[in-house]
Structure 1
Amino acid sequence: MKNQLITYTDNEDLIFSLSSGELLKISSRLKTLFGAKFWEKILDLNSYEGIACLSPDLDSRLVAYPKYMDLKVSYELTDTDKRLKVVEYGWYNPKADTIHLLIFPVAVESNFNLTHDLIVDLLDKLVDPAVLFNREMSNVIVTNYNLISCLNNRLSELGKGFQVSDFFLEKLDYQSLLFWVYSNEISIQLRSKLDLKKKGGCWFDVSFSKIKIEEDYCILAILKDVDEQVSLSQIQEKRNLIFSRLSEVQISFLSKSKYFNPYQHFLDAILDVSKAKYGFVGEVSQSEGSARLMKIHAVTDFSFEGKDAVDLLEKLKNDQFIFRHFDNLFGASIRLGKVICENNPKRSPYSKNVHVPGHPIIENFLGIPILKRKEVVGLIGLGNKEGGFSQSDVDDLSPFATTYSVILDAIKTEVRSEEFRRESSEKSLILSTLGEHSPDTIAVLDSANRFQLLTPAYKKLLGPGLGDELIQSKIRHLILKTHTPKYHQFKGNYRSRLKVKLYDQEEMWLETSINVVEREQGEITIAFIRDVTRQMQQEISLKSSLEKEIEFKNFLSDFLSLVSHDFKTPLATLNSSLDIGMHYLNQIGNTVIKEKLERHFNKMSSEINILQNLVSHSLDYNRFATKDSILSKSKISFVDFFNNLINGKDFTDSVSFKNFCLEDFTVYWDAFLMERAVLNLIANGIKYNPENGKVEIEIFGTPETHGFSVSDAGIGIPNEEITYIFTPFFRASNSSEFQGSGLGLGIVKNVIEGHEGEIFVESKIGEGTRVSVHFNKR
């Protein structure tokens, strides 16, 4: 086995001999960053101590470094002209008796003086959106294409003048930016939602830096799109909120007292998740005369609406919050036994449009019936959510509806059971009923960590291969591990996600939420444990897929940039030199050597043409891969477009053309790009067609749809590879004898989709390939 490679540092800014004080090294980085003249006075350690004093408790470097070995200190570099605040990282090498220092500025103007041309070139090459402002951010100096393509506003509107603050959907972020602009800090990082890319805005990580360009100070902003990452995080936060509030609700019903209304806690949790302004939860039952009625357990206090509202609430209180009339929105949900989501109640057939004095005006409504089998036993009613309700609200509240159903059933059982009259017995019944119905494992530990309750679900949690004693031991360990500062959420609440090994060495993820309840008899711990293995696997898989996709896109972009910018000039030089060589070769008489040279020159010319095609395709693909290209559409004749293309490119002998549309049929296309796409398909057909075969082109057009197809009788594409033919650089396994870059079809697909079209491929080995393109509107 080879010895491991040892790497040594060589990036120190300053190296001093401790014994002699001699300056052994000063980096060019320091001279560039602070100016060469600043360092001319530094001849040895003593002269450096004169402008870079350590704090009194450290004494001098001669004493401090041998004592501490490693140091991180802050101080000001001082001379007659300036005072520069820096941070020093240093270490002592006892073997060489030297000290090694790295110096970093805290707030110092950079001496790099960039040119305007250089910054324009850099911005154009950046993959991310970028913009350069003047020092006060009152003028835009330079933007790159990727930023312009993100704009939601018309340039004509922005050209009249705009406020940078309008792009910040969170105004506090803009205030942070303003504070930084007038501070001494060099850079700032913000994660903010900006009015860019799509309606409603996108999340970006924005890096602002103060730089110097030709003696003028400017602000450079570089944006990184993190919208998908933030959306994923928000979804996860929503899931965590739902689980947390559900756990609180379950615990509130377990630990309720006569001074606490758990139903109100349940309603507050629903309002928190749904963001609705008003709401109620009620139990539906039958009266003695078989008439349906609803008992409201909790309702939003709307007494602040005025005296009429106070009187209405008092009347409802006197009626014990019982409703007997169901000719309204919530009544429809109860009568029909289905969700009623109405964002325009005035036009709803279920609304009487009669305003009750004191009742808040309902702008939108969501009613979720609580079902036991097919019978409606309760209702969750919500109103006045900003932006209205949607199916996602129904999905988010589904676990609450299930929990409410279990709670109602448990409480009915509690009331019917005379043997559990005492408070402790009543709570035990509710807890046992919840435990029997809940897929979660519910555990209660006393102050000595002994089980007071463990619901039957625990036996299924860790599998049948473990005995009860071992499972209980693992659950106790899981609860105690969660009950640590690392997993603390808020007062008395802890939550963890931990990986657990099963008896057969398989692994699973368990989410544990515990609440610590203080009682006179001592502290009890109530825990809810659920299996979240599938959810964690999906999250890990999604994160891995996103990382791989980002890594591939960055690689592809870098590669295409290399091809498009670094290959063109050498290829042009080679081609020019080859033409000159051929010129001089033609002046030589016919000889054997000339014939050999001509053969090699022709081979070189052919290979250069192949490389030039690859560069051309790379440029095209790099332009269209992100689908950000700007189309220059105009009204053109559909039939004339194909006639001119076939006749102008002299395809009449190799192409068969059939027209199935009207002569005056017109389309709005970018003629140049569509010509490139169609030529690519025709060239492929000719290349793979048998000798003397013809490529068939058919066009069709109706008021509803139009399109074209290109067919050949060539070698065909293996069926299992058709899915990948639009992937960059992919070539069919049976096409190795034919020249090609593997980029052409990817460009064609992006051009077609840029025109809001669809492309389909049908192929059979040995019979040929048919490429069809359809557009649903003209």
Structure 2
Amino acid sequence: MVSERILVVEDERIVARDIEKRLKKLGYIVPITVASGEEAIKVVAEMPLDLVLMDIQLKGEMDGIEAAEHIRTEFDIPVIYLTAYADTATLQRAKVTEPFGYIVKPFDERDLHTAIEVALRRRLAEKAVRVALEKEKELSELKSRFWSMVAHEFRGPMTSILSAAQLLEDHGLSLPEERRREYLYLIQKSVRSMDQLLNDVLAVGRAEGGSLKFDPILLDISQFCRDILDEMQFNAGHNHQIIFNQQGECSDTCLDPNLIRHILTNLVTNAIKYSPRGGNVYLTLCCTDGEVSLQVRDAGIGIPADAQKHLFVPFQRAENVGEIPGTGLGLTMVKKCIDLHGGQILIESQVGIGTTATVTFFSNSEANNRCRSV
């Protein structure tokens, strides 16, 4: 059903009523008719409209062309001119306002309908083009930020690796054993950092390209969590202790192990990384009827309130991270993995207090039907 809203601007009352009657017969909505350019601008500012039919010759200080120019620049609503006669100078002024059409009085219903439909379709097409151009611009900016981030994040660990390797080559035999171990540890840490960056980039790329698949299995999520945490504790060193707690029976849960690994490793890695002074990181697994939740809690630097609005936007990092390395891709990947499960994530954080991330998965008949045993 046609429901476009059209404003009629015509200072001849009989003509205005005739146009209104014809428009309503064609199925359009005419919320009001006005007789001056000033009134037209006021109405456009106050109510949603799809099109304006504007008489060029209006009584008063502002003619239809001036009103149309204001409506175009301020409100981006298409205008079709109504005119019985106009000299060359007036028509030239009208062209500058980029109207969506002209209707010459007197006109029949078919001409009116055709002009309006062409204008409305043109508006939709132009809007689609603007949206596409805006998305292309955003994509270009995202790519630029991506390559800048990649260059920056790789340059740091590569510099560390090169410096440590050169020192070992030049002074290896004369260096104390403790110092040699320190340089080797720096190389290993830098390689792990680069490997994590590559994994994040490739994983997000797969997700954006639609190749990240949801393949749930009957998973012993409790043992799965313990195995991952054992690996992470080894790499975390002695400054951080990862403490695992479980509530409820969680032996057979329908989840995708690859996606869960992404979720857990990113959340726990963040908890460790953003607790630079060390301390405990807690992972709590809770299983109840129809729900499985994973909660990661730390007492680290926390996330500022402004940054919490953009947690899952690629390459976004809070201003308080300082020199702590990171890509801004981890939580983006976490959110995509959770979405594929049909789950949800809640992050609560206070600066200087710490962060708690809670991921909840719900019993899903579709997922259960796809679930396979291993």
Go from structure 1 to structure 2 and tell me whether the alpha carbon gap of 1:752 and 1:459 turns closer, same or farther (over 3 Å shift). Answer: closer
Q: What is the correspondence of 1:411-426 to structure 2 with a 5 Å cutoff? A: none
1:514 equivalenced with 2:100 (yes/no): no
By how many angstroms is 1:681 displaced?
Answer: 0.8
Equivalent-residue separation in structure 1 for 2:318 and 2:207 (angstroms): 22
In the other structure, the counterpart of 1:673 is 259
Contact 1:625 1:747 in 2 (8 A): no
By how many angstroms is 1:460 displaced?
Answer: 1.4
By how many angstroms is 1:692 displaced?
Answer: 5.2
1:590 equivalenced with 2:174 (yes/no): yes
Q: Secondary structure of 1:724's partner? A: coil
Q: What is the correspondence of 1:568-607 to structure 2 with a 5 Å cutoff? A: 589-590=173-174, 607=190
Go from structure 1 to structure 2 and tell me whether the alpha carbon gap of 1:644 and 1:239 turns closer, same or farther (over 3 Å shift). Answer: same
By how many angstroms is 1:687 displaced?
Answer: 2.2
Give 2:357's aligned amino acid.
V
Go from structure 1 to structure 2 and tell me whether the alpha carbon gap of 1:750 and 1:585 turns closer, same or farther (over 3 Å shift). Answer: same
Question: Structure 1 vs Structure 2: percent identity of aligned residues?
Answer: 18
In the other structure, the counterpart of 2:62 is 471
Contact 1:462 1:471 in 2 (8 A): no
Go from structure 1 to structure 2 and tell me whether the alpha carbon gap of 1:554 and 1:479 turns closer, same or farther (over 3 Å shift). Answer: same
Q: What is the correspondence of 1:125-524 to structure 2 with a 5 Å cutoff? A: 254=18, 269-270=26-27, 399=29, 439-441=32-34, 456=35, 460-461=39-40, 468-471=59-62, 479-480=82-83, 499=97, 514-517=103-106
Go from structure 1 to structure 2 and tell me whether the alpha carbon gap of 1:459 and 1:550 turns closer, same or farther (over 3 Å shift). Answer: closer
Go from structure 1 to structure 2 and tell me whether the alpha carbon gap of 1:253 and 1:563 turns closer, same or farther (over 3 Å shift). Answer: closer
By how many angstroms is 1:439 displaced?
Answer: 1.8
1:684 equivalenced with 2:270 (yes/no): yes
Per-residue Cα deviation, 1:135-186 (whole angstroms, up to 9, x for no partner): xxxxxxxxxxxxxxxxxxxxxxxxxxxxxxxxxxxxxxxxxxxxxxxxxxxx
By how many angstroms is 1:608 displaced?
Answer: 5.3
Q: Name the structure with the higher strand share.
A: 1
1:776 equivalenced with 2:331 (yes/no): no
Go from structure 1 to structure 2 and tell me whether the alpha carbon gap of 1:582 and 1:602 turns closer, same or farther (over 3 Å shift). Answer: farther
Equivalent-residue separation in structure 2 for 1:481 and 1:626 (angstroms): 56
Contact 1:657 1:698 in 2 (8 A): yes
In the other structure, the counterpart of 1:749 is 335
By how many angstroms is 1:762 displaced?
Answer: 0.6
In the other structure, the counterpart of 1:714 is 300
Per-residue Cα deviation, 1:605-657 (whole angstroms, up to 9, x for no partner): 65555444333322222222355412333221232222332235447971222
Equivalent-residue separation in structure 2 for 1:634 and 1:773 (angstroms): 18
Equivalent-residue separation in structure 2 for 1:243 and 1:648 (angstroms): 66
Q: Secondary structure of 2:106's partner? A: strand
In the other structure, the counterpart of 2:247 is 660
By how many angstroms is 1:715 displaced?
Answer: 1.2
Task: Considering Cα pairs closer than 8 Å and 6+ residues apart, tell me whether 1 or 2 has the greater RCO.
Answer: 2
Per-residue Cα deviation, 1:417-439 (whole angstroms, up to 9, x for no partner): xxxxxxxxxxxxxxxxxxxxx62
Q: Secondary structure of 2:269's partner? A: helix
Contact 2:164 2:187 in 1 (8 A): no
Equivalent-residue separation in structure 2 for 1:597 and 1:657 (angstroms): 34
Paired residue total: 307
Equivalent-residue separation in structure 2 for 1:702 and 1:715 (angstroms): 31
1:637 equivalenced with 2:220 (yes/no): yes
Pick the structure with greater CA Rg: 1
Per the normalisation by structure 1, the TM-score is 0.32
By how many angstroms is 1:739 displaced?
Answer: 2.1
In the other structure, the counterpart of 2:48 is none
Give 1:440's aligned amino acid.
T
Gaps of 5+ in 1: 1-237, 256-261, 271-396, 404-437, 442-455, 485-495, 500-508, 520-524, 531-535
Equivalent-residue separation in structure 2 for 1:476 and 1:685 (angstroms): 58
By how many angstroms is 1:440 displaced?
Answer: 2.7
Equivalent-residue separation in structure 1 for 2:357 and 2:326 (angstroms): 18
Give 2:173's aligned amino acid.
G
Contact 1:659 1:698 in 2 (8 A): yes
Q: Secondary structure of 2:61's partner? A: helix
Equivalent-residue separation in structure 1 for 2:178 and 2:170 (angstroms): 10
By how many angstroms is 1:773 displaced?
Answer: 0.9
Q: What is the correspondence of 1:11-160 to structure 2 with a 5 Å cutoff? A: none
By how many angstroms is 1:549 displaced?
Answer: 2.8
Go from structure 1 to structure 2 and tell me whether the alpha carbon gap of 1:549 and 1:589 turns closer, same or farther (over 3 Å shift). Answer: same
Contact 1:251 1:515 in 2 (8 A): no
By how many angstroms is 1:716 displaced?
Answer: 0.8
Contact 1:633 1:668 in 2 (8 A): yes
Give 1:725's aligned amino acid.
L
Go from structure 1 to structure 2 and tell me whether the alpha carbon gap of 1:554 and 1:757 turns closer, same or farther (over 3 Å shift). Answer: farther
Go from structure 1 to structure 2 and tell me whether the alpha carbon gap of 1:694 and 1:668 turns closer, same or farther (over 3 Å shift). Answer: same
RMSD in angstroms over aligned alpha carbons? 5.4
In the other structure, the counterpart of 2:324 is 738
Per the normalisation by structure 2, the TM-score is 0.61
In the other structure, the counterpart of 2:49 is none
Contact 2:41 2:67 in 1 (8 A): no
In the other structure, the counterpart of 2:73 is none
By how many angstroms is 1:480 displaced?
Answer: 4.4
Equivalent-residue separation in structure 1 for 2:245 and 2:181 (angstroms): 43
Q: Secondary structure of 1:470's partner? A: coil
By how many angstroms is 1:728 displaced?
Answer: 1.9
Go from structure 1 to structure 2 and tell me whether the alpha carbon gap of 1:549 and 1:254 turns closer, same or farther (over 3 Å shift). Answer: closer
In the other structure, the counterpart of 2:72 is none
